[in-house]
């Protein structure tokens, strides 16, 4: 609007020869030039980087966090990304902007087309700086189902997965619906209520499993991967010594423990990219089936129906 006003007043000044109108035109042009320059300088020279890769479960929300660093040149004002809250930075300061996303579909997604923008100082111009692509992982929505297959159920009932004789453990009041195997009976007998071990160090040989989703597609595959996700999360919460044969993103196939540093995240990222079709079994899994130390096979029939699991 100011540009049109400057043009209109300029024509009027030229037709009338009014020096005051020429002065008004010069002021409007100077204002537009300063606003455009300040808008550009407000975003120029910033260091921008995403804070890692965002993770979450399908149907939930997650956040991409952008790190913004001012290089010591000048203060910056009203910086934003995708209608987030505005960020002001003092000279040489750092800040973050969070972009909220809802995860609609399982997988590894590249988010492109985002930019850092600002309309400072007068809102007459908008300056934008393109952001590098960001990565978002959408994990299967966990389903906490009960293992039903004979081999898998035997593995789930192994006492060393619920061992109370670890190096450290603590007690909390027992809640209805919790696993009765975790009740500490000696202490419960000497108290008015029941107590349950909430953290313990497991012992014994680890349980090794591998996935066989052959024949599962669409909703059946998503339900199966959600049940496996629930099994992994429950095993980590119980400090179970569970290993899964998988091929994490960008890594060779191997055993990954839910208890190792970053192990659960690596397994969930692998599940996010699993598609229809067979998965390679671990070496010797098929020839050693039925032996005491053979890895346990988990397929679509390994979990009890979710409506009738007790």
Q: What is the pLDDT of residues 118-169, one digit of tens each?
A: 988 888 889 999 999 999 999 999 998 877 655 444 445 454 444 444 444 4
For residues 110 and 243, membership in a common domain is answered with no
Ranked by mean pLDDT, the top range of 1-15, 136-150, 180-194 is 136-150
116: pLDDT confidence band, cut at 50, 70 and 90? very high
- Residue 19 token pair: 């020096």
Residue 290's pLDDT band (cuts 50, 70, 90): very low
- For the ranges 25-34, 66-75, 195-204, which has the lowest average pLDDT? 195-204
Tokens, residue 136 = 């978002």
pLDDT at 229 over 90: yes
Same-domain status, 147 and 276: yes
Domain that holds residue 264: 140-163+202-310
Classify strands 170-173 and 195-199 as parallel, antiparallel or unpaired: antiparallel
Is a pLDDT exceeding 60 seen at residue 202? no
Do 178 and 128 sit in the same domain of this protein?
A: no
Q: Tell me, what's the pLDDT at 171?
A: 58
Judge whether 206 lies within some domain: yes
Question: Do 91 and 177 belong to one domain?
Answer: no
CA distance 77 to 71: 14
Distance separating alpha carbons of residues 289 and 163, to the nearest angstrom: 26
> Within this chain, do residues 185 and 263 fall inside the same structural domain, yes or no?
no
How far lies 43's CA from each of 50, 54, 247, in Å? 17, 25, 42
**Bridge-partner residues for 87, per DSSP?**
79
The pLDDT of residue 166 is: 45
H helices of 96-162, in order, are: 150-156
pLDDT at 46: 93
Write the burial class of residue 57 (CB in 10 Å: 0-12 exposed, 13-18 middle, 19+ buried): buried
């Amino acid at each position: 609007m100011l540009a049109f006003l400057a043009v209109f007043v300029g024509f009027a000044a030229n037709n009338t020869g009014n020096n005051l109108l020429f002065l008004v035109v010069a002021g409007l042009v100077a204002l537009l030039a300063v606003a455009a320059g300040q808008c550009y300088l407000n975003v120029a020279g910033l260091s921008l980087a995403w804070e890692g890769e965002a993770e979450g479960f399908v149907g939930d929300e997650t956040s991409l966090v952008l790190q913004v660093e001012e290089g010591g040149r000048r203060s910056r004002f009203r910086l934003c990304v995708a209608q987030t809250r505005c960020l002001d930075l003092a000279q040489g300061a750092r800040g973050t902007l969070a972009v909220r996303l809802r995860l609609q579909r399982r997988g590894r997604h590249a988010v492109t087309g985002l930019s850092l923008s600002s309309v400072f100082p007068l809102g007459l111009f908008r300056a934008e700086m393109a952001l590098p692509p960001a990565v978002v992982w959408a994990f299967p929505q966990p389903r906490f189902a009960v293992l039903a297959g004979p081999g898998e159920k035997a593995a789930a009932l192994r006492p060393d997965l619920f061992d109370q004789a670890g190096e450290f453990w603590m007690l909390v009041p027992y809640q209805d619906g919790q696993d009765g195997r975790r009740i500490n009976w000696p202490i419960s007998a000497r108290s008015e209520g029941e107590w349950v071990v909430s953290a313990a160090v497991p012992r014994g040989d680890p349980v090794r499993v591998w996935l066989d989703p052959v024949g599962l597609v669409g909703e059946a595959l998503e339900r199966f991967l959600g049940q496996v996700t629930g099994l992994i999360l429950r095993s980590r919460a119980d400090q179970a010594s569970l290993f899964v044969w998988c091929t994490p993103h960008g890594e060779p196939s191997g055993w990954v423990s839910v208890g190792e540093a970053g192990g659960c995240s690596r397994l969930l990222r692998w599940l996010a990219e699993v598609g229809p079709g067979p998965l390679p079994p671990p070496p010797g899994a098929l020839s050693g089936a039925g032996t005491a130390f053979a890895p346990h096979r988990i397929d679509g029939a390994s979990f009890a129906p979710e409506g009738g699991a007790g």
